[in-house]
Structure 1
């Protein structure tokens, strides 16, 4: 039996504590008022250079230009009115003057006084006109600036929520896909992977912990404690509101907070029930009851059917819903590929570590080789889906579709391009060689790049719609990841320590025990003979 070491347990708790403290700090340090947001925007515009700073500077310039245009147009309008007023005043006074000449025989001194009075009237009208323009322009610019500052405030306040959300979704998705891969192995009656069953079962223990946190997060979002989902804003579905959105209103049969929360509860509850039953039956199977093997098979079939529907729906609700005007029929598959590659990488990491500790006596280089093949193969699958989605939208060039990628390419160019390189180029270069796939340290290096790339991929899915240009990689982003990493370590290794590392009752155990690739197990023998 494997013993969960005290050092590893301390590391897990330390990561969770550091992550929790950093997350709390990111929430407490977020701006609270519009004045705070204005100060941050002013500082960004003053310093310049970054993505957020450039964005703030551009917005400030746009507001100034717009205000100047408004003033210019209003000056023209009021000047025209001023000319009309002067003309009317002049004609009126001329008529009066003529009448005075006829009836009162006005002297030249009276004419001069009338002329002076006319100049006074003209000056008064001009000063009044310019004062009105200045006052209206300043009020308009101030209103526009307040609106922009309020929008930026929501984005800044969203940042700690979004950072925590990305980390939570990543570990939830990875854990869920480990369970899906495990169920697929059961349904396919795969023999090679039986030696890894206890590893996969242990990883899926993390699903229970993250699901509880996810449920609390969904409830907080339902209560409008954050602004992650634009369609939840006040007045979006009200035609009488200035915030009304006709496009989102057309989707209210799906996008409404009660059904959104209910669906989330169904997803989480269903996944956890299936995981609990499968794990329980698998432990009981160690007694050698073949009826349990058939029972687990049926349960796994049911889980895969439930998973295929709920995974896509969850990706619509929890990720695509952040950009409610945009949609993609490939999105559910794309998210699945992202989490699946990451899940396979995590399985490889835990397997390599436990094997190095002597906890997996049946695992050999051939098992590592097969895991690396899956990592490589599904990296290509992810690339296919990414290119298919991007290429079709780029080629069609429809505004309602291109806005999704335009925002990410303009504001998130570095992470957007980096994750494509990390998720495709690196796996091809590192894992295309068959010999490299069975070398643990090489698989580890390639896996670290893959995990980082897919974490950035999820980051780019979530952040543009929640924080816009106010993103970054700071304490909040790092803390969220550390917290869930510590939770993952604790959940996985504590579960692995509670069960026999070998699934003894599985009828395909012997096949997994004798799983060998000749060229891998006898690597180097041919050269030694020469």
Structure 2
């Protein structure tokens, strides 16, 4: 075990073994098989599901007594025979958004550490540095999904909503067409991923060059581009949340939703980083990581799980207090809409993302204990999947949602692909940056 007085060798190379690759391929194959089986079952039961979807959507519209509810319920449950395919698209979109957040938070974590000139995180810096390598995958998946299934997922893509002479004309959605239109949406989607990935490649290249030549040139360059990313992400973290998630329920909006999604992405990314540090440490890597590093990571996870809860509660309280029909529809659908199928995920979300990590990470020693850190991180990783599930599924598939082979299959496929890309990136460089100017500070990090 590393201590501040006995510094181990910083020469460590992660080995992405053939066995690990084989296991990931098997996991991906199992996930694909589950998707095929699930799609077959959904397709054969599509007529039954569609009928129930329409019934629940109509009931939701009647209960809410609002035009907004009718439009959103119709968009979610009124596709008839195509409802099973909508569930496929919705699951692809959900996992792409979820893993996009985890990936981009690696860049976010590096950037604010560069801007703050923080030295404590240097010894495990290569882990968040590897996460954004998955962004091209999720970006491509989202682009393809929008082209093929966007009409099923996003109600605002229906042309009849904008024709005043048409029976389906929607004045509210028509008022948003300057922002919510297909060409501008696609431009923004491409801009997000190109901007995030380009800035990451600059930082990654500078980091690898720093390993070879040392000096401050690449560090100064990293600070500059990391700051540029923070400025860019300050805007795009909110606008991407509006586009990827909030625009699904086109009538509903929240001015806090950008912060809410960033908080969800951020704490999930921190949980993934912490889990990877602990896992690698248990496998004999990252010997320079000591209990003080683990405690700081645990404090980050603890603090931002509370921050996410604060934003969640602030959004909920304002909407509850105002009690406006066009706002409370979002929560009514999740509490009592569609036969109450979203009530359980709603409360699981709160338990896994706040109550459990809050209770287990309160003490100092818990943040230094591998098993407790892993429990808390897994709770947050699973919990925030439910968070995005609860934000995306009601507006896309409505009463036809559920947890079955399709859901588990897509989670497995995306997770295996994510681990593959991150592992391949970790194997490309020394696990500890050799010539980082703050390496000594990180090696001697002590908050006893």
Q: Bigger radius of gyration, 1 or 2? A: 1
Alignment correspondent of 2:243:
317
Q: 2:402 aligns with which of 462, 466, 472?
A: 472
Unaligned runs of 5+ in 2: 1-12, 63-73
How far apart are the structure 1 equivalents of 2:206 and 2:139?
A: 21
Q: 2:147 matched to 1:219?
A: yes
Contact 1:192–1:511 (Cα < 8 Å) also in 2? yes
Deviation at 1:392, TM superposition (A): 0.4
Q: Given that residues 236 and 249 in structure 1 are in contact (C-alpha distance below 8 angstroms), is that contact kept between their aligned partners in structure 2?
A: yes
CA distance in 1, matches of 2:396, 2:438: 48
Alpha-carbon distance in structure 2 between the residues aligned to 1:338 and 1:147? 26
CA distance in structure 1 between the partners assigned to 2:334 and 2:327 by the alignment: 12
> Deviation string for 1:190-249 (max 9, x for gaps)?
010001111111222222332222232233345x4xx10011123011111121111000
How far apart in 1 are the matches of 2:75 and 2:175? Answer: 26
1:375 aligned partner: 301
Shift of 1:31: 3.8
Q: Deviations over 1:311-361 (max 9, x none)?
A: 111110110000000111100000000011100000011111111222212
Local SS of the residue matching 2:125? helix
Q: 1:400 aligns with which of 318, 326, 329?
A: 326
Pairing partner for 1:246 from 160, 171, 180: 171
Structure 1 counterpart of 2:121? 193
Q: Does 1:159 align with 2:87?
A: yes
Gaps of 5+ in 1: 45-51, 63-145, 519-530
Higher RCO (C-alpha 8 Å, min separation 6): 2
Alignment partner of 1:430 out of 357, 360, 365: 360
Seen in structure 2, the aligned counterparts of structure 1 residues 436 and 148 have a Cα distance that, compared at 3 Å, is closer
Deviations 1:95-144 (A, max 9, x none): xxxxxxxxxxxxxxxxxxxxxxxxxxxxxxxxxxxxxxxxxxxxxxxxxx
- What is the CA-CA distance between 1:40 and the residue it aligns to? 4.1
Secondary structure of the corresponding residue to residue 236 of structure 1: helix
Deviations, residues 409-448 of structure 1 (Å, cap 9, x unaligned): 1131111112112111111111011110110111001111
Instruction: Give, in angstroms, the shift of residue 382 of structure 1.
Output: 0.4
Shift of residue 9, structure 1, vs aligned partner: 1.3
Verify: 1:450 aligned to 2:375, yes or no: no
Q: What secondary structure is seen at the aligned counterpart in 1 of 2:411?
A: helix
SS in 2 for 1:158: helix
The CA distance in 1 between the partners of 2:55 and 2:159, in whole Å, is: 30
Residue 504 of structure 1 is matched in structure 2 by: 434
RMSD of aligned Cα (Å): 2.3
Report how far residue 53 of structure 1 moved.
Answer: 11
Shift of 1:483: 0.6
Task: State the match for 2:317 in structure 1.
Answer: 391
> In the alignment, which of 168, 193, 196 is matched to residue 268 of structure 1?
193
Relative to structure 1, the CA distance from residue 272 to residue 154 in structure 2 (aligned partners, 3 Å threshold; closer, same or farther) is same
- Give the equivalent residue in structure 2 for 1:525: none
Which residue number in structure 2 is paired with residue 181 of structure 1? 109
Tell me the CA shift for residue 56 of structure 1: 8.2
Q: TM-score, normalised by structure 2?
A: 0.89
Partner Cα distance (2:77, 2:354) in 1:
39
Q: Given that residues 14 and 486 in structure 1 are in contact (C-alpha distance below 8 angstroms), is that contact kept between their aligned partners in structure 2?
A: no
- Give the aligned length: 419
Maintained 8 Å contact 1:182/1:200: yes
Q: Is the 8 A contact 1:164 1:476 kept in 2?
A: no
* Residues 426, 147 of structure 1: alpha-carbon distance in 2 compared, 3 angstrom cutoff: closer
